[in-house]
Copies of this chain bind each other. A is one copy, B any other.
Amino acid sequence: MKHTRTILAGIMAAAVSTAALAEDVKVIGVSIPAATHGWAGGMNFHAQQTVERLEEVYPQLDFVLATASDPGKQVNDIEDMMATRNISALVVLPFESDPLTPPVQAVSESGAWVTVVDRGLSVPGIEDLYVAGDNSGFGRVSGEYMVSKMQDGGDIVVFRGIPTTIDNERVDAFSEAIKGSGINVLDMQHGNWNRDDSFNVMQDFLSKYDKIDAVWASDDDMAIGVLAAIEAAGRDDVQFVLGGAGMKEMIKRTADGDEMIPANVTYPPSMIATAIELTAVGLTSNAPVSGTFVIGSVLVTPENAMDFYYPDSPF
């Protein structure tokens, strides 16, 4: 199904909808990459949930949610929304920056509102609102947690993602946060945000170093690879692994008091929800919502973990 639309349901929503029929209904298009698992799977889940919620809250808004499995499909989705749905606003998480820039620019030039999420376009200034994650904050909060957890210092290994500016920002902020703390980074390698790569890197680390006190895996997929390598090696020197991004299985382990996974740091796929919510606020109120919203990376501990746990989400 090309366009997934949720249907207004429930007595309350129906009653409100009737009261508002006289008003103009505005359409918000939401265009995102498809995915059934991982971070993008979580993003799809939260987009769908938010559309359902907002169709209840705002009878004067209608939504068209399109998911694309490649950039070409996403370009078509957006052109379709323009041609057949007369959208007042577009919320887009671009598959890739270059191919998506011209169609999103066309939406903007038509006078519709444009909200871009997470990944920027190739031409600056097209979007009215940019909702982004906080990579420096992600590294800083992770580093501060390690310092608070390892008050007597210790030896750690660090996993980096795919070499990108995102990865640099995270690692630079982490390094800054642990400076002077007594935490010693034994080694730092790229696990490429990938379980298998991280399993292999952690195997190397474990054979190279007799004692590793903790691991900054910096991502939950990498953390899963790291944990598997530790288990395969039968090592009990590693006291804990700090991942990141808030995968539900890891959040659950933190909530349950698993000492190997004592915390998490968010880089939430639900930022798509914030983008859709803000776009709806812009169409229904006087509140200005142009600008840049950097979604904070928040420390998750056993105390607040259930606030970040979405059992129905694939992520």
Binding site for B on A (CB under 8 A): 11-12, 15-16, 19-20, 46, 49-50, 53, 57-58, 128-129, 134, 137, 266, 268, 270-271, 273-274, 276-278, 281, 285-296, 298, 310
**Closest CB in chain B relative to A136 CB, distance in Å:** 11
- With beta carbons under 8 angstroms apart, the residue of B271, B285, B294 that contacts A273 is B285
Query: Is B294 touching A274 in the complex (CB atoms < 8 A)?
Result: no
Closest to A11 in B: B19
Contacts A/B (CB < 8 Å), 6 sampled: A46-B286, A266-B288, A277-B287, A278-B278, A290-B296, A293-B294
**Closest CB in chain B relative to A50 CB, distance in Å:** 7
Interface of A is mostly: mixed
Closest to A246 in B: B288
Query: Is B281 touching A288 in the complex (CB atoms < 8 A)?
Result: no
Query: Is B288 touching A291 in the complex (CB atoms < 8 A)?
Result: no
Query: Is A268 touching B288 in the complex (CB atoms < 8 A)?
Result: yes
**Closest CB in chain B relative to A312 CB, distance in Å:** 11
Residues of chain B with a CB closer than 8 A to A266's CB: 288
- With beta carbons under 8 angstroms apart, the residue of B16, B285, B291, B298 that contacts A295 is B291
Closest to A304 in B: B111
Query: Is B271 touching A288 in the complex (CB atoms < 8 A)?
Result: yes
**How far apart sit A141 and B266, CA to CA, in the bound complex (Å)?**
33
Q: Given that A16-B12, A278-B278 are contacting pairs, would A49 and B134 also be in contact in the complex, using a CB cutoff of 8 Å?
A: no
Query: Is A270 touching B290 in the complex (CB atoms < 8 A)?
Result: no
Query: Is A293 touching B290 in the complex (CB atoms < 8 A)?
Result: no
- With beta carbons under 8 angstroms apart, the residue of B58, B134, B281 that contacts A277 is B281
**How far apart sit A256 and B15, CA to CA, in the bound complex (Å)?**
41
Residues of chain B with a CB closer than 8 A to A287's CB: 46, 50, 270-271, 273-274, 276-277
| Extra 12 A-B pairs, beta carbons < 8 Å, given A12-B16, A134-B291 | A46-B286, A53-B285, A268-B288, A270-B286, A271-B287, A273-B287, A274-B281, A274-B289, A277-B285, A288-B296, A290-B295, A293-B293
